[in-house]
Amino acid sequence: MKPKALILRGAATNCDLETAAAFRYCGAIADIAHINEVLKGIKKLSSYDMLALPGGFSYGDDISAGKIFALKIRTLRKDFEKFIKDEKPVIGICNGFQVLVKTGYLPENREGLRRASLFLNDAGHFICKWVKLKINKKSPCVFTRGLPDEIELPMAHGEGKFIAADKKELEKIIAKNLSPVFYSDNPNGSQADIAGICNEKGNLFGLMPHPERNFFSLQKQKKESKGFLSEGYLFFKNAVDYCR
């Protein structure tokens, strides 16, 4: 039986179609739903094996990026926490990562408090470019298993600078290998070159660059004859294989 993925969107989310297509290509059933459908009980998280919060500019990034979407999700906190506790894969990409940080799900903590931020890029403006990422092979992250030592993904954000709440939080992330991906050439000023973080079980993961935008080799900025699929494919394949 095919595992089911829910792609959860809000107003102004714009990467939901690509994210759903990535999961479908890897053998999953992927449904796209607005957060209001979950709030009204039309869609239930418990019906799914995987969850993705895709990129975009949910609710116009009013107040701060991902904040309003995060407030909506917090009203369903019990359902979301059960989904994560059941070790079902959850990925937040770009705006989705911002949402996971602002709900307090990442970095993981028992109190559910917000222990980090994704702040304005050091450049002071939106950055859209390809970036090289180093893969942390010691990380428990489900999504990055089997990836090469270095990959390239596109990024597109204005608020991507990762800042931990304090020195202790940052040290914990590094010591426990909870950052599966690091920038090779830090484009936004993130602490410790962090491009994404996960929880200790490895099933909850958020990152700023977009794996769904480097899914096929033809999407790469440098055309290479190394097969039809590219590095981003493995992020989604890993999640689907994990559920199987």
- H helix or E strand, kind and range, residue 236: helix 232-243
Nearest CA to 50 among 2, 97, 3, 5? 5
What 3-state DSSP class applies to 33? strand
In the set 15, 141, 210, 231, the catalytic residue is 210
26 catalytic, yes or no? no
The values of phi and psi at residue 8, to 5°, are -100, 125
In the set 15, 18, 26, 94, the catalytic residue is 94
212 catalytic, yes or no? yes
Q: Dig out the tokens for 223 from the structure.
A: 């055309």
* Secondary structure of 63-117 as H, E, C letters: CCCCHHHHHHHHCCHHHHHHHHHCCCCEEEECHHHHHHHHHCCCCCCCCCCCCEE
What 3-state DSSP class applies to 11? coil
What 3-state DSSP class applies to 126? coil
210 catalytic, yes or no? yes
CA distance 1 to 152: 33
In the set 15, 212, 231, 243, the catalytic residue is 212
As annotated, the active-site residues are: 94, 210, 212
